Every structure is written in C-alpha cells, then in structure tokens.
Structure 1
Amino acid sequence: MDAIALRREFHKYPEVGFTEFRTASKVVEILKSLGYEVIYGAAALDPQSRRGVPSEEELEAAYNRALAGGANPKIIEKMKGGNTAVIGILKGKRTGPTVAFRFDMDALPIQESTDLDHFPQSSEFRSKYEGNMHACAHDAHTAIGLSLAEKMSDQNFSGTLKLIFQPAEEGGRGAYSIVKKGMADDIDQLFCLHLGLDVPLGEIYGGSKDLLATTKLLAHFHGVPSHSGISPEKGRNALLGAATALLNIHSLPRFSSCPTRVNVGVLEGGTAPNIIPQYAKMIIETRASLAEINNELEKRVRDIIEHSAAMHGLRYEIEVIGEATTLVCDENMIATVLEQAKNTRGFDSFKEYYNFGGSEDASFLIRRVQECGGQGTYMVIGTPIAAPHHHQKFDIGEDAIPMSVELLERIAKRTLHVREG
C-alpha cells in the first residue's frame, strides 16, 4: 500500500465532521479487504452523544456528493445521518492484550489555495470539494492508519489490534460518542498521534501535556421583530441581547488556579437596518487547564447568557456543540514510543512531552481507557509544514508518512508481543 498516494487521495476529497461518508467508506473497504472485522455507522458510536452535528440538509448534500465521488452505496447507507465512525478489529494468532490506535479523518471548512506554489495545487491533488480542505494533516493520519492495518494483517501477534478511525475531531465533536458506545472499554493501551505542530522532521514527542479542557457552546436568542422607526418599543432585540452577553463574557476575570481562555467566535443576527432583530446566535468556547475550572467558566458563561436574555425580554437556548477534557499520558507508554522511535529510520530527536496548549477530544478516549485500567498517550511526530495549521496553504512534508507507518508498526509489534523469526 502506497501511504503517500493514499494520503493524496484523501486530500482530494476532504469532508468535514460527520460528513466523512466517502472517506469512511474507503476505510471500511480497505479494512475488510485486509481481513479485519469492521464496525461502522451507528454501531461504532452513540448518535445521541455527537456534538455539533450538521443540519439534515448539509448531511444529505454531503451524502449525495460522496455517492457521486465513488463512495460504496451499501456501506454509506449505514452511515446516514452522519454516523461516520469506523472501528477495525483484528485478532492475533495468540491471546494477549488489546492495543489500539486512533486516527482522525475530518477536514476543515476552508477554501484551499490555488496558488502554484501550493504543492497540492501544482501536483494536482488539491481539494475537489470547494470550501473544504485537509488543513490539519488528518488525511495523512488516515493513510497512516490504513497502512498500519496492512502491515499487521498477517495476524502474527498476541492479542487484539483495534484501529479507531474517528470523525469530527475538529471542534471536539466525535470522540465522546465513540466512548459512550463503549468502544474504548476493552483497550489496554491506546496510542494517538498528530503530525506537524511546528515540530521538525525527525523529532518526536512520546506524549503531550497542557491539553486544555474545553466546551463549545451555541446560544440562540429569540426576540420580537418590529419597525425600528415607527414602533421600536414593541420589539425585543435579539442581537442586542447577544451583544450584551458577548461583552460580559469577555469581561469574565481570569482564574488564579490555572490558565483559562474564553472567546466568542461567532455573533450573527438581524436582517435589515429598519427591523428590530428577531433572532441572533452566538458561538462561544471556554478552555482551562483544569477540567473543574472549565466547568466553572462554562457555568458563568451560561449565567451571563441567561441574564442578558432576561434584560432584553428574550428567550434563549444553549447547545453544547463541542467538548474535550484534560489529559495525563502514561510514562511507560511514552517510553515505549521513544524506544521504538530510536529504532525507526529518520528519527533523530527524542523528547518526552509536547506542550500542547490547545484541546483534543482524543482526551476522552484516553481518559476512558485509563478509567477502565488501561493506559494511553498522545504522541507528536515532526514534519515540515508549508503554512500554519488551519491555513489555506497548509501542507505537510510527506517524508514523515512512511516514517510514521514504520514507527506505529514497531509499536504495535512490541506491545502485541510479536515473535521474531
């Protein structure tokens, strides 16, 4: 299997969270061809626990686009409604532990560059889906996972290999639903990874720290429309209520116990200058290095929304559209990663902890594994990047892909007690 060619194939067909119909169908096909038991669709996640699911119209459009793009209709039929998780399971020839690897599949709502100095453009694998782009290396992660599946397909190991292909990592929306389905409960060791993050080629971090707990909220404000000149007093201005909430949210104090973040990223409302806005929406995120502080910050944001709505005579609703928690990697898992990296061609710098500073919903998977008595880590693998993550010119150095495949194969064989010779 040519992992680089596979990465380019996925790059051409980027699909945002819970619309990864084409990508997931290809993953299912390849895993089945390699002899894996494959669990997918609603069997692989809890549909009710997904965060920030696209509208029915968006899901239907993405589904039809995937069919037109070559997705297997029998496979994606089971993914209707955005149930796009895939779990591949392969039992070895002997009994042993259950070792899992997690790979995220989703793209971002970004218009990819058409400049000739952008390598995917000049090499003819730029996005075919305008407005969507793989700008965070998830295309490479998926290709690495499938290449690992091929490397281990002879079943010459002790135990069970579990490969988790996760939808909707962006915004912290997909992992929690996989956890709620029970897919992490039997895992003894879980390895998660990310390419890039300003780490140079050849460098690897066996684990990560300073991952922030986060909550993403969508607030709806409902008012009463009226003529802004003739009868402004009869209206209830939803946009003004949302703006009141915005200013007060950004006035929240910092916490002395840990770093915190709060941001209103979207504020929309109104239809014309002479109409009192009937509706407004606001998207907010909170973050903190301690889960309990993030919970308190979220509570304060909710209180502000409630009272801002009351001040202006509005109704409101709040949805959780994304979430992640904090993470502590297990030291012996970090040691395993670095030990195997030292035996893998191309790696020459070995470090324990990457200072993440952001959020990752793999935290839910690793935490659940740990709660059930297992262990986990989140490694970072270096590769040059052409532009920052989530930028229209983002691209990775593809030399990191075969290195990563070899590393994960070594880790899998080490933890699944492969007999040499």
Structure 2
Amino acid sequence: MSNVDLTQLIDWRREFHRCPEFGWSEFTTTARLITTLRAMGLEVLAGPKIINRDFIYGRTPALVESGLARAKANGVDDALLAEMDGLTGCVAIFDSGKPGPTVALRFDIDCVYVQETAGDEHIPNRDGFASKNPGMMHACGHDGHASIGLGIAKWLVENGSRLTGKVKIIFQPAEEGMRGGRPVAESGIVDDANYFLGMHLGFIAKSGEIVVNPNNFLCTTKVDFRFYGAPAHAGAEPHVGINALAGACHAATQMLGISRHGKGMSRVNVGVIRAGEGRNVIPSYGELQAEVRGENEEINTFMAQQMHRIAEGTAHSFNLRLESEIMGEGVDLTNDKELVELLTDIVKRNPELTAVQQRSFGGSEDATTIAKRVQRNGGKSIYFIVGADLKAGHHQAEFDFDEKQLKTAVDLFIGSLQALMAK
C-alpha cells in the first residue's frame, strides 16, 4: 500500500469531471495537467514533442477552435497554449538519475458525447461536480485515469530516490474513436521504453477484481464515407438529380451484411448516416460513419476491405463521387507473460483484491498501439483492468464509478514500478 492520499485523488478526479472535453479539444485539461505536474517539479513535454501530426485522425479545425476558445475562457495562459501548438495531451518524465529501465505508463484524458443526467441521485449532481460543458461527459472513467496518473507522479517525486531508471507518464488525448494512440506512438516518445503499462477502470470487472491478463482486444478501423451526387427538383426534374441518400442507404445495408470471418471474432457497424437537403430536393450528399473490428489484423483487414469495396461499388452503380477518410485505428494485444506474472504477484499480496487471469475485453483500446510499439522495439507490455463498481454502464448518462478504486490503481502501478526499477 502506498502513502498516496485517496482524498487528493478524488479531488483531482472530480475537477476533471467538471470540465470534460472531446478528443483533440482537451486544452483546459492538458493545461491543468501540465501546471500540476510542473508544480511537482517534473519535466513535462507537450505539443509536437509527443504528437506526430502525420498520423492524426479525426481532428477538425472546428473541434480544435472550440477547445481553444474554452481554454481561453477558463483562463489558460496564452504561453501554455502556444507551447501546445494546437495539440493536446502531455508526457511527464521522472528521471531517477541512476541507470535503469525506462517504464512508460499511459492514461487517457478525453470524454464522450453524452449529456450527463440531471437526476438527484447522481453523485456528481448531489456533490456538485457534474459536467459544466453541455453534451460532454466523462462517462468512461478517463477523469479517473488522469487522476491516477497524477497520483503516481506525486508518489514518484516524493519517493523516487528508491528507484533507478526513468518513468514516462503519458496523458493521451483522443482515445475515444481510437484517434490519439498512433500519433503518440509515432512521435517516438516510447521508443526507449523497456516496459509499458496501461489500464482501465471498471469495464469488465467489479471492485476488488483485477483482470491481470484480459484477452480479445479487437483490431478496428473506423471510416467516414462521403457520397456526392447532384441536387434537382424532386417534382419537376428528378431525372437531373443523382441521389446520394439512396446510395448511402444502400451502402449501409450492404455493409451490415458483410459475411463474418470464420477464423475469429469480427464486427461491423454503421453508426451514423446523414443525408439530404430538403423534402423536395434530390439529395446531393450522403455520409456514413462506419467501423469494423476483428480478433486479429488479418480479420480486421478482411472486414475493412469488404467495407471499402461496398462503398466503391455503390458509388459506381449509383453514379456518385466517393470520398473516404480513416478516422481511427486500433490493434490487438497479447500481454507479456513476465508482466502478467509480476502484476499477479502484486495483486495476491493484497487480501482485498482478487486476480482474474483472463476475461474477454471484447472491444478495442487505443493504448494497444503504443503497447505494441514498445513490444516491436524489444520491450514488454501489459494492459489490465482495475475493477470498479459502476452506477451505470460506460458511455451512459448515469455513469459513475467507485472512487476508492483510484487508490487501488495507483498502488498497483507503484508496486509494479518498485518491482521493475528497484535499486
């Protein structure tokens, strides 16, 4: 057990919960992190030093401008915003000054598109820390993740003399939609890492359970398809128009009918469709927001290729012009045995915790891209689940989690650092 104060962890978590921000717009959140970390005495990197612009997905000028405007309204210093250079997230570096391994830890910081409930029984409403940003909510626990990262940073500053090597604490933007992991990985910030550790609160485990080796991390590709036709009067000249709505709808139904793969889990979904200008106008524009997932890269590639073939074929048959844009990607992950065994041993020392060896994750996680980068460079990686009882499921308006598990997570990371970096 560490000496990290649970009250401080809760205070940080609630501060972040009040000001949720969508991926690539987390300027206020990033500023708060940088200010807090530098006040602790840590080196902090931000902007292009930790984000490779060439690999950014799903970042629009409108999204960035909204986040910058919010940050300025919140009093964020202009010099700090200039340092970020339009990019969110940061990396804190603790250097013991002694030879030893480099360990990278990752915590995501963005929120989801959910309007938080106004219910009186909802603890954030009752205790005064509900979201102040309409349509934005920390409904996935990333506010807790950011708090955990700060707790580890504080412990390192106060106790780091006992360690060797270096720790990089990554506060990653834009996890939702699988958009931020790759630009962080491609920045090279983890290329010297010997170990990578990441985690999620709640999800597939209740309080007291630690899933030390979750499996079935699904690869994923998320794509926006835009179909362009021609408008016309629906009564007088329908023959002049080219109906993009019809093409988009046809593509959607065909995508949902893609044959599933026989070698493992595969998924496809069309989550958004937008089209049309008016009741009496032949629609000139249609947009699909779609995704596929696969148990491994081969399956995911198959699903993505099928999705693109359908879009291209539909555009050709309906005489439409097609644009497609990858909005996010994620990869699978197999945890390294050494770290699974290390974490299992740490969990077993705490009688209040139970180590669950395997449980299906059943979804995609942006941290896997960073984790696999470390593995490809010869390092070892693990992603685990810290169970937390939930008031409602992730991405729901009533979501809230057992805040006591913030300290559980901090203690597990600290125990891992002590084992990997002991003098």
TM range (shorter): over 0.9
Q: In 1, Cα distance between the equivalents of 2:341 and 2:266?
A: 30
Aligned equivalent of 2:29? 23
Which of 256, 261, 265 is equivalent to 1:259?
265
Aligned equivalent of 2:380? 375
Q: In 2, Cα distance between the equivalents of 1:63 and 1:128?
A: 16
Retained in 2: the 8 A contact 1:63–1:80? no
Retained in 1: the 8 A contact 2:111–2:138? yes
Percent of aligned pairs sharing the same letter: 35
Aligned equivalent of 1:246? 252
Aligned equivalent of 1:63? 68
Deviations 1:338-367 (A, max 9, x none): 2222334x7321122231000001111111
Q: In 1, Cα distance between the equivalents of 2:205 and 2:299?
A: 30
Give how far 1:278 is off: 0.8
Q: In 1, Cα distance between the equivalents of 2:27 and 2:114?
A: 18
Aligned equivalent of 1:310? 316
Deviations 1:21-54 (A, max 9, x none): 011111111221222221101211111211111x
Paired amino acid for 2:38: K
Secondary structure of 1:226's counterpart equals coil
Q: In 2, Cα distance between the equivalents of 1:124 and 1:339?
A: 39
Alignment of 1:117-132 (within 5 A): 117-132=121-136
Alignment of 1:6-405 (within 5 A): 6-53=12-59, 55-81=60-86, 83-154=87-158, 155-156=160-161, 157-344=163-350, 347-405=352-410
Q: In 2, Cα distance between the equivalents of 1:110 and 1:77?
A: 30
Q: In 2, Cα distance between the equivalents of 1:70 and 1:403?
A: 33
Retained in 2: the 8 A contact 1:198–1:385? no
Secondary structure of 2:358's counterpart equals strand
Moved more, 137-146 or 25-34: 25-34
Paired amino acid for 1:183: I
Q: In 1, Cα distance between the equivalents of 2:42 and 2:414?
A: 16
Secondary structure of 2:157's counterpart equals coil
Paired amino acid for 2:278: A
Q: In 2, Cα distance between the equivalents of 1:77 and 1:121?
A: 34
Retained in 2: the 8 A contact 1:34–1:150? yes
Deviation beyond 6 Å, 4+ runs, structure 1: none
Paired amino acid for 2:377: C
Aligned equivalent of 1:407? 412
Retained in 2: the 8 A contact 1:198–1:384? no
Structure 2 gaps, min length 5: none
Structure 1 gaps, min length 5: none
Q: In 2, Cα distance between the equivalents of 1:70 and 1:332?
A: 45
CA RMSD across the alignment: 1.2
Retained in 2: the 8 A contact 1:208–1:377? no
Give how far 1:96 is off: 0.2
Give how far 1:80 is off: 4.0
Paired amino acid for 2:106: R
Q: In 2, Cα distance between the equivalents of 1:71 and 1:4?
A: 23
Aligned residues: 415
Retained in 1: the 8 A contact 2:24–2:63? no
Q: In 1, Cα distance between the equivalents of 2:265 and 2:408?
A: 35
Retained in 2: the 8 A contact 1:266–1:284? yes
Retained in 1: the 8 A contact 2:20–2:137? yes
